[in-house]
Amino acid sequence: MQLETYPDREMLMLGLANVLAGQLADFLRRDGQATLAVPGGTTPGPVFDTLSGVDLDWANVAVLPTDERWVPETSDRSNTRLVRERLIRGRAAQARLIPLYAPAETPEEMLPALEDGIRPHLPISVLLLGMGTDMHVASLFPGADRLDEALAANAPLLLPMRAEAAGEPRVTLTAPVLKGAFNIHLLITGGEKREALERAQSLTPQEAPVRAVLDAATVHWAE
């Protein structure tokens, strides 16, 4: 793991957006297309605000949530809603958003169709992850019902996930998809998450799912 510490959160969000933009630009120059996977939650909004204003060939960028709460976009719990409102706008309005939710009672019903949607956009060129204080990344929660399956080397692309801490059912990219990304960034803020990250280093991926990606990740942190 490589750790980048920033003097404050504003510098963190700006600096990280700049790194992500640079890596996307490299992919676009080389391959003519790129896939950016991004988290939901409370932390990444300011990164999205900056990134959405960067001059890139956004029409050739596919944007994929790392995980989704099984709620429609009308819910303020929807990660897709956050991405649409804060990232897929301005210069980035041309980017193609690949949803991990489709209207149905349960994620299981839509899983094959959702997998078909993301398959053409893998591997991920640039992956941004958040982390909870419980050391979950994407929706790989400690104690989740299908965590072992999601951590396995032969895991499918996507799995439904249920955990007490998760609230509603989730859908998540699995560990092999996350680990398969060319560039992996983890965004965390505050002392509690920094301590959790330190703790995670001596735990198993089952205890601390962030461990699944940590060795290959650059961690971006500010108090």
Q: Which residues of this chain interact with ligand LXAUTJHC, rule CB under 6 A?
A: 39-43, 66-67, 79, 130-132, 138-139
Nearest CB to ligand LXAUTJHC, comparing residues 1 and 25: 1
CB 122, min distance to ligand LXAUTJHC, A: 18
β-pair type (67-69, 170-173): antiparallel
Residue 59 DSSP code: G
Nearest CB to ligand LXAUTJHC, comparing residues 28 and 159: 159
C-alpha 53/C-alpha 190 separation (Å) is: 26
CB 55, min distance to ligand LXAUTJHC, A: 27
CB 124, min distance to ligand LXAUTJHC, A: 14
Distances (CA, A) of 156 to 86, 120, 138, 169: 29, 14, 15, 18
CB 85, min distance to ligand LXAUTJHC, A: 15
Nearest CB to ligand LXAUTJHC, comparing residues 104 and 165: 165
**What SS3 state is found at 52?**
coil
Nearest CB to ligand LXAUTJHC, comparing residues 130 and 160: 130
Answer for the pair 77, 69: CB distance below 8 angstroms, yes or no.
yes
Q: Where are the beta strands (DSSP E) in the chain?
A: 2-5, 34-38, 61-65, 67-69, 96-97, 126-130, 158-161, 170-173, 183-189, 217-222
C-alpha 126/C-alpha 145 separation (Å) is: 28
Nearest CB to ligand LXAUTJHC, comparing residues 28 and 173: 173
Both tokens of residue 36?
Answer: 């950016």
CB 57, min distance to ligand LXAUTJHC, A: 26
Backbone angle region of 14, left / alpha / beta, with phi > 0 → left and psi within -120 to 50 → alpha:
alpha
C-alpha 73/C-alpha 100 separation (Å) is: 11
Nearest CB to ligand LXAUTJHC, comparing residues 64 and 111: 64
CB 132, min distance to ligand LXAUTJHC, A: 5
